[in-house]
Amino acid sequence: AARTQVDLADLGPGHTKDGHPVSLYLNIGSMKDVRTGAQGAGLLRTEFLFLGRKDSPSRAEQHAAYLELFNAFPGARVVIRTLDAGADKPLPFLALPDEENPALGVRGLRTARLRPEVLDDQLAAIASAAEAAACEVWVMAPMVATPAEAADFAARARAHGLQHVGAMVEIPAAALRAARLLEHLDFLSIGTNDLGQYTMAADRQDGRLPDLLDPWQPALLELIALAAEAGRAAGKPVGVCGEAAADPRLAAVLVGLGVTSLSMAAAAVPAVHAELSARTLRECRELAEQARDALDPAQARALASRS
Ligand code: PEP
Ligand code: MG
């Protein structure tokens, strides 16, 4: 609790010991997660506005809610994610059919196949709020699997006048084809919670499989490296906004893998900032190399903690 008292503005922008910049953003679910002095918001989850709703919020209602959040980050960047319905986030107004395997079903961006008008309303509200706001708004879609989905989402978002359009990498297919996704997009943001779940075929809500869901799984790190490398080749940012970004030592590994920003709960920012400030980019790369080469998460952690 004491750590949340730190004024984020006092920390300044994130960087390695040798001055390589790594933006540190906040994950935001509602106004209560906002802290002043942050570099921006790397994941604004919009589900909060829709949870439990039987009718979908109007464009005007969405505009007001997004504008309030955007204005909490004056002069900064806010990455807003379109609606992410899923197994763990039921949204009654979407009236989705029951599914045997909700985690593998019509969730995230896929809900727009059944209810395209809901995505259009949301993009219109995001675009109008972005016009009115004093921050830089980036928009991204959750659960993108294919370049075609990325192209379709980008076309819709740009039709509303949105200029910075990206996708989350939460499905192994998206990591494997990150370069192709980036032909249509301006940035990627890796959601390690879902990417871990789908890489290991282990339900993120199943408490019996902690070893498989460990964010230090070398297979997960390999996929993150692929996405980061595609971003480097395209000259486009690739961040991480899953829980992995909040583990200071793993944050250093992620930077070593080539990730350009990290987004986390405000309470995690001071420790991640301190860890990165104590390591050169070269050290981060060495840590990443060791973690990738490890046999399992325990060894990856142990190797990265030696130095
Ligand atoms: C993720 O999957 O890592 C992520 C950030 O999205 P969410 O946790 O909202 O599914
Ligand atoms: Mg997710």
Asked if 126 contacts 139 with a C-beta cutoff of 8 angstroms, the reply is yes
pLDDT (0 to 100) of residue 99: 86
Q: In this structure, which residues have their CB less than 5 angstroms from ion ligand 2?
A: 170, 191, 194
Q: Is the pLDDT of residue 59 over 90?
A: yes
Q: Is pLDDT at 86 greater than 90 in this prediction? A: no
Could you tell me which of 17, 121, 133, 141 has the C-alpha nearest to residue 80? 141
pLDDT-derived band at 2 (thresholds 50, 70, 90) equals very low
Q: Whose CA is nearest to atom 10 of ligand 1?
A: 194
What pTM did the predictor assign?
0.96
Looking at every residue in the chain, the average pLDDT score rounds to: 94
ipTM of this complex prediction, to 2 decimal places: 0.99
Instruction: Report how far residue 265's alpha carbon sits from residue 14's, in angstroms, rounded to the nearest whole number.
Output: 15
| 282 CA to centre of ligand 2 in angstroms | 30
Which atom belonging to ligand 1 lies closest to the Cα atom of 45?
9
Q: Whose CA is nearest to atom 3 of ligand 1?
A: 191
